[in-house]
């Protein structure tokens, strides 16, 4: 049991939540002294027109801009370096990210590369960024990554085939303009994948060995909102009220994990996603129940709280039964969401597991897992999910 006297830090950007929040980008950029903005986005966001109101808002304030959109589902180190060259060559002094976790993480990385004049690999790990990014506004268009409020940036190293975790206060955006209307363009599969990302963020933040009473509040609220609204939202994609609840869930989960960090689910998902270039939310979904099974005994009371937040009645149940009920609930959600599949279905073979486990053990997220795994433990979890 952690003492309330333990020192804990809580970092968050200024954020505006609600319909039309993205339209304030021009006013905020002007207040920050933006002269020329690098807009970081991806081809899909461009194609569906989500960027158009942002461009209009900047034009209305007389602010010029350059667009960088060469970003994959999992942004790579080479894309970060390319984006930073555009930023510097175009003489920009401000960054606006519009998109899901990929453009936002890439924008954060572009910012620190541009200000520090070093390769992105130099910043891998915790608190490795000496000079802050230029001013950054994030406009999320998915309800999942919460990169708009977090001190994390996840970048794929193509050479090592893994995802680098960059954790630093310097990558916390200055402002997040969180507008649920932007999520109406998400299809069902993306809605589900990002929803499982939210659940994974909140679960891991709540049981993290760096959690606090403040992060716990946000984590439980995120679990309650996502647990009750993920399936309804995926079945009613144009319902703005449901979309708003999932966006609020993502925000709460982001505030929680940004400050409590994550755990083994994300360490394994980063390894898996970097190795096979899979969507991050899908990787979390494939691993979620298997890691809970491993971690449960280390934080029984907290997993009981999670069960209650998911709406499960566990009052009369012993610990062993609670564990079973919680894991079955997660698996039922996966079945309803059509993501209840083994790792072999996404291309993992038994021969890949030692390499995946080795990369997992070197991921920064593993440090705050409530139970310290050995490499054999991680290999066993991958095998169970295979």
Read off the pLDDT of residues 250-283 as tens digits, 9 standing for 90 and up.
999 999 999 999 999 999 999 999 999 898 999 9
Cβ proximity of 51 and 200 under 8 Å: no
Residue 333 has pLDDT above 70, yes or no: yes
Let me know: does 286 contact 328? Beta carbons within 8 Å. Answer: no
Q: What is the dihedral of CA 334, 339, 340, 346, to 10 degrees?
A: -150
CA 104 to CA 143: how far, in whole Å? 13
**2 has pLDDT over 80:** no
The token pair that represents 280 in the structure block: 């991050």
The mean per-residue pLDDT over the stretch 55-77 comes to 96
Three-state SS at 130: coil
Which tens digit of pLDDT belongs to each residue from 157-172?
999 888 999 999 999 9
**Dihedral angle, C-alpha 53, 243, 105, 59, nearest 10 °:** 10
Question: Which H helix or E strand runs over 178?
Answer: strand 175-178
> What is the average pLDDT value for the chain, to the nearest integer?
96
Residue 247 pLDDT > 80:
yes
* Angle formed by the axes of helices 264-276 and 353-361, nearest 10°: 130
Q: What is the pLDDT of residue 1?
A: 58
- How does pLDDT run across 360-382, given as a tens digit for each residue? 999 999 999 999 999 999 999 99
Predicted TM-score of the model (pTM): 0.96
pLDDT given at position 162: 86
Q: Is 17 helix (H, G, I), strand (E, B) or coil?
A: strand
| Cα separations in angstroms, 308 against 10, 46, 54, 328 | 25, 41, 40, 14
Is residue 246 within 8 Å of residue 237, measured between CB atoms? no
Average pLDDT over residues 308-331: 97
- When pLDDT is averaged across residues 123-148 and rounded to a whole number, the result is 96
């Amino acid at each position: 049991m952690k003492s309330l006297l333990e020192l804990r830090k809580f970092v968050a950007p200024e954020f505006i939540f609600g319909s039309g929040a993205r339209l304030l980008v021009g006013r905020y950029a002007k207040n920050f002294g933006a002269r020329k903005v690098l807009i970081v986005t991806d081809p899909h966001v461009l194609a569906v027109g989500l960027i158009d109101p942002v461009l209009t808002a900047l034009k209305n304030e007389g602010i010029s801009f350059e667009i960088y959109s060469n970003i994959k589902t999992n942004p790579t180190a080479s894309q970060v370096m390319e984006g930073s060259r555009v930023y510097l060559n175009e003489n920009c002094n401000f960054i606006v990210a519009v998109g899901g976790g990929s453009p936002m993480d890439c924008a954060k990385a572009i910012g620190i590369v541009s200000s520090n004049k070093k390769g992105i690999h130099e910043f891998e790990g915790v608190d490795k960024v000496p000079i802050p990014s230029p001013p950054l506004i994030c406009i999320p268009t998915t309800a999942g990554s919460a990169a708009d409020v977090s001190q994390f940036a996840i970048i794929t190293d193509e050479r090592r085939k893994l995802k680098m975790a960059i954790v630093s206060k310097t990558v916390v955006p200055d402002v997040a303009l969180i507008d649920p209307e932007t999520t109406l363009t998400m299809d069902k599969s993306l809605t589900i994948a990002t929803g499982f990302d939210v659940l994974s963020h909140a679960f891991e933040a709540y049981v993290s060995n760096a959690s606090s009473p403040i992060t716990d509040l946000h984590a439980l609220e995120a679990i309650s909102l996502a647990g009750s609204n993920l399936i309804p939202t995926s079945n009613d994609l144009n319902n703005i009220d449901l979309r708003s609840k999932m966006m609020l869930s993502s925000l709460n989960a982001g505030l929680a994990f940004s400050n409590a960090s994550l755990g083994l689910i994300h360490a394994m998902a980063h390894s898996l996603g970097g190795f096979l270039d899979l969507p991050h939310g899908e990787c979390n979904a494939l691993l979620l129940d298997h890691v809970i099974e491993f971690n449960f005994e280390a934080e029984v009371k907290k997993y009981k709280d999670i069960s209650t937040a998911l709406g499960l009645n566990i009052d009369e149940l012993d610990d062993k039964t609670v564990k079973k009920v919680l894991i079955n609930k997660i698996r039922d959600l996966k079945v309803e969401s059509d993501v209840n599949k083994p790792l072999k279905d996404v291309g993992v073979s038994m021969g890949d597991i030692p390499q995946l486990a080795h990369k997992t053990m070197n991921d920064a997220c593993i440090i705050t897992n409530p139970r310290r795994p050995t490499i054999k433990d991680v290999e066993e979890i991958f095998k169970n999910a295979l």
